[in-house]
Amino acid sequence: MNVLSEIKKSENKTVSRQSRFRTSVFQNMPVIGLMLLLLLVACSALMLGTVSLSLEQLQSILLGEGDPLLQFMVVEIRLPRVLSAIVTGAGFALAGLLMQILARNRLATPSIIGIDSASTTFVVIGLTAGWAIAPHWLALLGAFVTASLILVVARGTGTQGHRFIITGLGIGAIASAMTQLVLSRTNIDFVNQAFAWTVGSLNTPSVEALKIASVGILISFIITLFFRRTLQIMQFSDARAIVLGCSIDKMRLFCLVLSVVTTALAVSVVGPVGFISLLGPEVARRLLGQHKIPLLATCLVGSIFMILADLIGRTAFAPLELPVGMVTAIVGSPYLLWLLTRQPKGSI
């Protein structure tokens, strides 16, 4: 009897493990689908363009074989753009998610409150003035200065973040005006070179900035994973979150710092690309549920949108190339208007 009972217990444990595995796989199906979609979109971006490639040609080129000219086109031109799109798209989307959690408002994203615009302003001023500081450090400095100024003027984030958002909109507008003023008083050749970057472009990504951004955004993502449960608690009211053991002030500062860092790192590579930080978290929530913290899904959606925007920008009107920031603005602006005209929901 003891042997039979042990066998039954073992069978029950096996069935329980199998059921948990099936449940886990089912729950993660959207994330798995996003991973496959990202791979498909990345391969399409490497294959499509003025010179289109077949899947066999792409495979041989990635293995170091095939026509040297095609290898140069894919490895030296298209591949850096795709990698930059993956990294910066994930960074913008992650920053948007953290900012929305901080302010408990779906509109509180770095692009809307002007952090990326201010980063661009610092970079443009530094380059025109000849400062011996790398663009990614200038972007980081601009983001931190702007975030601190917004917090001081808005006197914190508030419960719903409305004051925080309005203050950010004003400071972002000032930063954009300063960028245009600096560009209007500089050499026309520099203006032509800087235009695509100031609206967001993946045309000539910096390899050094991409390496730094990749490491920084990956570290930010890993740190955020460790605080996932606390971020989930922050969606409740302050009183309930405190009862559940969450230090609201410390976690808001944590979200702000990580959001600013990831935004600045992404801006240092591609410039200010709007609406990725808005669309990434929103689409991820719709896939996984409105009350979840979809960290990985948000990053995947951001990367997918960034690659698609760049692909459309360089192929839809070829040989004319639209900067990726223009494409995301064209797509994201109607969505923002639709979001604003819906029944208002203060919390995320």
Residue-wise pLDDT tens digits, 111-149: 777 888 888 888 888 877 777 677 777 878 888 888 888
* Region of poorest pLDDT, from 46-55, 71-80, 160-169: 160-169
Nearest to 294, CA basis, from 250, 342, 348: 348
Nearest to 95, CA basis, from 315, 264, 312, 228: 264
| CATH fold for domain 91-275 | ABC transporter involved in vitamin B12 uptake, BtuC (1.10.3470)
Asked if 313 and 324 touch (Cβ cutoff 8 Å), the reply is: yes
- E strand or H helix at 311, and its extent? helix 295-315
**pLDDT, position 5:** 60
Is residue 7 over pLDDT 80?
no
Domain boundaries, the chain: 91-275
| Confidence class for position 10, pLDDT limits 50, 70, 90 | low
Q: CB neighbours (10 Å) of residue 16?
A: 10
Report the alpha-carbon distance of residue 327 to residue 330 in Å, rounded: 5
User: What confidence tens digit (pLDDT) does each residue in 30-44 have?
Assistant: 888 999 999 999 999
Asked if 94 and 224 touch (Cβ cutoff 8 Å), the reply is: yes
| Confidence class for position 207, pLDDT limits 50, 70, 90 | confident
Is residue 159 over pLDDT 60?
no
Concatenate the DSSP letters of all residues of 25-70 into one string.
HHHTHHHHHHHHHHHHHHHHHHH-SSS---HHHHHHHHTT-S-HHH
Q: Which residues contact 319 (CB under 8 A, 6 or more apart)?
A: 50
Q: How far is CA 164 from CA 44, 68, 107, 154, 345, in A?
A: 40, 53, 11, 5, 16
Q: How is residue 201 written in tokens?
A: 């472009």
Collapsing DSSP to helix, strand or coil, 95 comes out as: helix
**pLDDT, position 347:** 45
User: What confidence tens digit (pLDDT) does each residue in 297-309 have?
Assistant: 999 999 999 999 9
Q: Which residues contact 76 (CB under 8 A, 6 or more apart)?
A: none
User: What confidence tens digit (pLDDT) does each residue in 74-109 have?
Assistant: 888 899 999 999 999 999 999 999 988 887 777 778
| Confidence class for position 346, pLDDT limits 50, 70, 90 | very low
**pLDDT, position 121:** 85
Write down the pTM of the prediction.
0.85
Phi-psi label, residue 205: left if phi above 0, alpha if psi -120 to 50, beta otherwise:
beta
Amino acid at 276: I
Q: How is residue 326 written in tokens?
A: 């223009």
Is residue 61 over pLDDT 60?
yes
Longest dimension (CA), the chain: 91
Q: Is the Cα torsion angle 220, 221, 226, 229 positive or negative in sign?
A: positive
